[in-house]
Amino acid sequence: MYQINFNHPIHIYFIGIGGISMSGLAEILLTENFRISGSDRAPSELTQTLEERGATVYYGQREENLTSDIDLVVYTSAIKSDNPEMIAANRLNIPLLTRAQLLGQMMRNYKVPIAISGTHGKTTTTSMISQILLENHDDPTLSIGGIYKPIGGNIRVGSSEHFVTEACEYTNSFLSLFPKIGIILNIEEDHLDFFTDIQDIRNSFHKFALLLPSDGTLIINGDIDHYEEITAGLSCRVITYGSSSAFDYSPSEITYDASGYPSFHLMRKDGKKESFSLQVPGEHNVYNAIAAIALADILGIPSEISAGALLAFGGTDRRFEYKGKVNGFTIIDDYAHHPTEIAATLTAAKNYPHKTTWCVFQPHTYTRTKAFLKDFAKSLALADEVILADIYAAREKDTLGISSQTLQADIEQLGHRCYYFASFEEIQDFILKNCTKDDLLITMGAGDIVKIGENLLQK
């Protein structure tokens, strides 16, 4: 495998440089005096930021974008061998690294690399940890899978020993990382276009845990089914958190304020009890916060710093994000695209002040929709009213005979009303006619469903 020498910056080309993770890595390398170029399908705020900081970005992926002065090409799992720029890289004999391999090499430049993994909650927990480190003036380097407003994006380049990043299991990319501290938030079925089943996924998380060195630490959610199988054979320290007082950290007396934000007592195994309050909704965020607190304890950060940081934490883009009001109803946007995430968001919404909950859901990929069809129906039925948009295909093609109308039928079989519209314009018109004062409208999904709320706010 090609190895980067950070003392000798080179010219690196990113295929798909506009992605949230790829753009972040490119931005870090720009600060390290690397020459950066790359391509993407269309301009975005992320690519424009890179261009302002000195990167060369091509729009459209073509063989002629690659030149002989490029020393390394970085690509993601979405890029296939028939991609014209991959063909050009191979023809020019330019070395190749995956995004994860590059991230792993970058982690080795830091004394305390920290990787946050799990099927759900990575971006929120990484952002909570970032908030704590920033409040403690630790000057960390951060790589977050979403836009985190306090740093004005998804990347922050610091000068301390701390490097914090999300660790994604898709295509086993997190197995290319080199963390000293790892967090496993949860393990559930997802990405079944790559993994065989839940056992295959669990095996990958076990391999991720085995990456930790003997002087490292794994923080793991003890509520994961048979979590001991994931920690078996580890030489590092293991810290557990979860719903049981048998774990090292657990919550008690969870309450919600008028805005639906939780407060809780944190119980440590040594008997110490402390109070924490959050400004993000939902019980799931209580557990995300506990994982962040456990990490802060490892790093020696005082509890009062963690408590203040978590109280100040206002979430990240597309995670129960308040967008505004139209005709007296509130618009929230959320990235949830897995049944467990949907259930967590809609359960959190019950504590948010409102009259009727409307959920506008855009399924994400055909494989995920088919694999979890019944679970999607049950989770979405937690909303008072459900509206479906067409499936967002992402990297896939429609070869499975599945559609949003299939999901609509399953929701209706549960005795729950569900609407389907083929275009965003029809959805927007329906909302304006049917949502009333004090209703709560949640646009939900990992595609471009956020545009509905943004369009409504412009009317």
* Active site amino acids: 122-123, 166
Residues 6+ apart with CB under 8 A from 382: 342, 343, 346, 347
| Calpha distance 79→19 (Å, rounded) | 12
Return contacts of 189-195, CB within 8 angstroms, 24+ apart.
Answer: 189/119, 189/371, 189/372, 190/119, 190/338, 190/368, 191/368, 192/367, 192/368, 192/371, 193/365, 193/367, 193/368, 193/396, 194/170
Query: How would you list the strands of the sheet with 162-167, edge to edge?
Result: 153-156, 141-148, 162-167, 112-117, 181-184, 217-221, 237-241, 249-256, 262-268, 273-277
Do 370 and 451 touch, CB atoms closer than 8 A? no
DSSP string, 388-446: EPPPB-TT--S-S---HHHHHHHHHHTT--EEE-SSHHHHHHHHHHH--TT-EEEEE-S
| Calpha distance 138→67 (Å, rounded) | 40
Query: Helix H segments across 262-302?
Result: 283-298
58: phi then psi, degrees, rounded to nearest 5: -100, 140
Q: What share of the chain is helix, strand, coil (3-state, %, to 5)?
A: 35, 25, 40
